[in-house]
């Protein structure tokens, strides 16, 4: 018997769904006859680790006339329980094949005068479903048989056999059995192989198949999508030619190869390098495929990315770093009053148990796009299924915590009895109660959102009066006295300090704007601060700008930020409280103010500051500092400014601090502990990643915004008096208008200013500046903070409510 010259693998999958009824084999025309074998069960075929089940063989006999040879094959089909059809003409044969899609076709090629066997072969091969059909030609015994067979081979092209005529029934039977267990079964496996490859193509796991020499033979679309390669870039390449990630341990590849070359499966965590150079952590399973003679023929690698858990390799380092961070955060514990650790919050117990899990969770598990918190919840749910009841109930309490919206805000717990802390949290970290009265709060005086006429001729930096210039001589020092500048400039410190600081940082050069435009911009921004506010006025803005500039000069900050970040930070500090009405967000929401309605009671003031700053800036070319920068650069700058201004909103205070600690402080502490050759590069990676640069900028402006407790004592006391007066005025107005009193302790007749400062430092300042100091190295600030805390503590212990002790 001959063999196929080549094998073709089809993308089409053919399944036989079951035994056909007797009616389906009834003759359709006089030239076609069906012979049904005895009823049989499905045939089991082993295909690697799979068991396939096959219908009885379908055989088509094409003989022009009945003779002993055709009868021999009919008898053999019946004995083998094959389903047999007999066709007398090429037309009936083709029609029958189109209906049945036979596994085996036997054509009589002994008598060319009856029909053209070559034409029939071509017709059958033209049908898509014939690609896995085996065709056998019955040929004569004469010596010229070779000449008669070759045209048929050329016509069939592949999967072709010849049978030298032999009418003996047992010879025909043996031939059919050999075909069934040989080529027909091989073709059946190829059809199943098509189904398997279809499954591989649809799989969401990255799959790679290599030869025994580790030459890549196949990768599926999921592999292309995850790794960024096209199939054509990989097929035929040796594994060693594909770039490897440096994050794997040096001996990992050797371990894997040693395992799989012994025919053993390997499974574990492996870093692969994507085409763009990024490393991706994957759960990898590599299985050797044993072929003929027990030899390894292929390796199949199934790779599942660990998604957002790609940083888990650093978890052990971060655990080691935590002790270091804890040491840093406890440096100033002596100034705390039961200070709350924002990194470990507690929660109420849960009455519910693991019974709370519903079948609807199955839909969540099947989601392909999940938020990180959803993945965490799914992992916990899966762990609960096999956990003892006490563990399952404990995990239920964990789930209750995770499903709250305030994951980063500490619950008051130990501080619940402190009214100052409660009122500060209520006033600064909530959007207020619903309005209780019908009165709407309208700003009593609206500042003009335009360039005032008395400032239309701005001063030049070189024309600053000597007294003001002298006041600003030490503006690069942390101990710079902003109140002296306020007095010297007649409450216009922002314009003068802005001119000097922006000049020092080369802002005009970066923005490609004339100094006159910058002067006009600073003046119009300052004009839109309310000088009537005791705290939120342009002096506060100038103070925050000064702190921002000071922080930008710290070495770690300079390593992290780009020039565009520095410019964004300076502009954000300048505008961060523009048009502040001297009232908190809670007040505005309770009063149903126009701004609260406009911004849906969410980050009302911060949204207004950012929006108004850009409205003022872009409305008039005379003060448009952005008009000469490229569009994409403007968009980047604008986004950074808005993000920093919104970061000053206190409702997300603990979220920003915790993210900074976990994403920056702890990794840096771990790197400092571990050292190593790649230490400098690793530090740079932490400092300059886009996500971390955003966290640095947010932390920088947050610290600048509420840095008053870290200022020299006299400045700290003055700021404490100013913020207290603004809160007193708000409480007075709430009582007048019949609104909910957001911070009852800030009643000018009963308030203890030292207690309020102690609570503010304890709850908001200590942890944040511990983290910022660990990053930026600010020992002078921390010393001031210590001194100021002790000052307020001393007044409180003497039961004093005032800013200063009474004169001796």
Which residues does the annotation place in the binding site?
A: 536-540, 576-577, 705, 757
Of residues 580, 642, 583, the one with CA closest to residue 431: 583
Q: What is the DSSP string of 222-269?
A: HHHHHH---HHHHTT-BGGGS-B-TTS-TTHHHHHHHHHTTT--EEEE
Beta bridge partners of 210: 216, 299
Active site residue 332: no
Cα distance between residue 351 and residue 241, in whole Å: 58
Q: What are phi and psi for residue 47, nearest 5 degrees?
A: -135, 90
CA atoms within 13 A on the CB side of 32: 22
Three-state SS for 726-765 is: HHHHHHHHHHHHCCCCCCCCCCCCCCCHHHHHHHHHHHHH
Q: What is the CB neighbour count within 10 angstroms for residue 356?
A: 13
Q: Which residue has the tokens 């007999």?
A: 86
End-to-end CA distance of the chain: 121
> CB under 8 Å, gap of 24 or more: what pairs does 788-791 form?
788/709, 788/710, 788/711, 788/713, 788/716, 788/757, 788/761, 789/332, 789/335, 789/336, 789/709, 789/758, 789/761, 790/335, 791/713, 791/716, 791/717
Cα distance between residue 677 and residue 674, in whole Å: 10
Q: What are phi and psi for residue 357, nearest 5 degrees?
A: -75, 130
Cα distance between residue 760 and residue 422, in whole Å: 10
Binding site for Zn(2+), by residue number, is 540, 576-577, 705
> Any residues with CB less than 8 A from the CB of 712 and at least 6 apart, and which?
479, 784
Cα distance between residue 287 and residue 135, in whole Å: 36
> Any residues with CB less than 8 A from the CB of 147 and at least 6 apart, and which?
none
* Chain-centroid distance, C-alpha 309: 10
Q: What are phi and psi for residue 601, nearest 5 degrees?
A: 60, 20
Cα–Cα distance list, 673 to 58, 464, 658, 666, 715 (Å): 74, 50, 21, 11, 38
Environment class of residue 689 by beta-carbon count within 10 Å: exposed (0-12), middle (13-18) or buried (19+)?
A: middle
Cα distance between residue 397 and residue 391, in whole Å: 10
Q: Determine which one of 332, 536, 609, 784 is catalytic.
A: 536
Binding site for AMP, by residue number, is 536-540, 577, 705, 757
Beta bridge partners of 164: 139
Catalytic residues: 536
């Amino acid at each position: 018997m001959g063999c196929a010259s080549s094998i073709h693998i089809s993308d089409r999958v053919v399944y036989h769904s079951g035994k056909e009824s007797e009616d389906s084999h009834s003759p359709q025309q006089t030239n076609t006859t069906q012979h049904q074998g005895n009823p049989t069960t499905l045939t089991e075929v082993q295909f690697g680790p799979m068991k396939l089940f096959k219908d009885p063989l379908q055989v088509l006999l094409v003989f022009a006339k009945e003779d002993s040879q055709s009868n021999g094959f009919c008898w053999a089909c019946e004995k083998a329980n094959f389903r047999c059809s007999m066709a007398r003409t090429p037309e009936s044969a083709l029609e029958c094949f189109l209906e049945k899609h036979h596994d085996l076709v036997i054509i009589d090629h002994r008598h060319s005068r009856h029909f053209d066997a070559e034409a029939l072969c071509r017709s059958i091969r033209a049908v898509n479903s014939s690609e896995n059909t085996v065709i056998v030609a019955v040929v004569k015994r004469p010596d010229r048989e070779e000449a008669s067979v070759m045209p048929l081979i050329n016509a069939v092209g592949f999967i072709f056999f010849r049978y030298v005529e032999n009418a003996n029934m047992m010879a025909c039977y043996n031939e059919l059995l050999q075909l069934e267990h040989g080529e027909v079964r091989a073709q059946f496996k190829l059809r199943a192989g098509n189904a398997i490859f279809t499954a591989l193509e649809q799989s969401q796991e990255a799959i790679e198949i290599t030869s025994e020499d580790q030459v890549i033979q196949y990768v599926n679309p999921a592999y292309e999508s995850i790794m960024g390669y096209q199939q054509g870039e990989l097929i035929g390449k040796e594994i060693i030619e594909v770039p490897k990630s440096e994050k794997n341990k040096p001996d990992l590849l050797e371990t894997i190869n040693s395992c799989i070359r012994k025919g053993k499966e390997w499974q574990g965590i492996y870093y692969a390098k994507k085409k763009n150079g990024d490393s991706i952590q994957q759960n990898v399973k590599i299985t050797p495929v044993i072929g003929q003679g027990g030899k390894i023929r292929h390796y199949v690698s199934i790779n599942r990315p660990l998604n957002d858990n790609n940083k888990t390799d650093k978890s052990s380092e971060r655990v080691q770093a935590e002790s270091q961070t804890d040491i840093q955060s406890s440096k100033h514990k002596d100034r705390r009053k039961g200070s709350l650790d924002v990194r470990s919050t507690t929660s109420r117990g849960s009455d519910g148990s693991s019974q709370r899990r519903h079948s609807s969770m199955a839909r969540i598990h099947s989601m392909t796009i999940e938020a990180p918190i959803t993945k965490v919840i799914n992992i916990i749910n899966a762990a609960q299924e096999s956990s003892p009841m006490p563990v399952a109930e404990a995990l239920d309490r964990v789930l209750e915590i995770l499903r709250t919206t305030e994951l980063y805000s500490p619950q008051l717990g130990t501080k619940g009895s402190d009214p100052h802390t409660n009122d500060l949290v209520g006033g600064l970290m909530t959007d207020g109660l619903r309005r209780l009265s019908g009165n709407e709060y309208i700003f009593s005086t609206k500042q003009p959102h335009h360039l005032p006429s008395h400032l239309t001729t701005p001063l030049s930096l070189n024309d600053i009066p000597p007294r003001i210039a002298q006041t600003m001589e030490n503006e690069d020092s942390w101990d710079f006295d902003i109140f002296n500048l306020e007095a010297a400039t007649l409450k216009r410190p922002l314009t003068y300090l802005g001119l000097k600081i922006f000049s020092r940082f080369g802002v005009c050069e970066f923005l490609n704007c004339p100094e006159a435009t910058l002067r006009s911009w600073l003046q119009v921004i300052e004009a839109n601060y309310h000088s009537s506010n005791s705290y939120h006025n342009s002096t506060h803005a100038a103070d925050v700008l000064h702190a921002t500039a000071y922080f930008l000069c710290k070495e770690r900050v300079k390593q992290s930020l780009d020039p565009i970040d520095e410019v964004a930070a300076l502009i954000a500090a300048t505008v961060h409280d523009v048009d502040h009405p001297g009232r908190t967000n809670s007040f505005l929401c309770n009063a149903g103010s126009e701004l609260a309605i406009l911004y849906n009671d969410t980050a009302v003031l911060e949204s207004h500051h950012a929006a108004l700053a850009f409205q003022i800036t872009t409305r008039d070319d005379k003060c448009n500092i952005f008009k000469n920068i490229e569009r994409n650069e403007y968009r980047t700058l604008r986004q950074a400014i808005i993000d920093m201004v919104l970061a000053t909103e206190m409702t997300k205070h603990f979220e920003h601090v915790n993210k900074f600690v976990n994403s920056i402080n702890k990794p840096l502490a771990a790197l400092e502990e571990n050292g190593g050759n790649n230490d400098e590069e690793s530090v740079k990676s932490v400092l300059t990643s886009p996500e971390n640069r955003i966290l640095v900028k947010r932390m920088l402006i947050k610290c600048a915004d509420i840095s008053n407790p870290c200022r020299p004592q006299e400045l700290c006391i003055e700021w404490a008096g100013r913020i207290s007066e603004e809160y007193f005025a708000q409480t007075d107005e709430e009582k007048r208008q019949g609104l909910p009193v957001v911070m009852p302790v800030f009643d000018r007749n009963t308030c203890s200013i030292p207690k309020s400062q102690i609570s503010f430092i304890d709850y908001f300042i200590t942890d944040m500046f511990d983290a910022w100091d660990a990053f930026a190295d600010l020992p002078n600030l921390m010393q001031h903070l210590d001194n100021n805390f002790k000052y307020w503590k001393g007044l409180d212990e003497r039961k004093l409510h005032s800013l200063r002790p009474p004169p001796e």
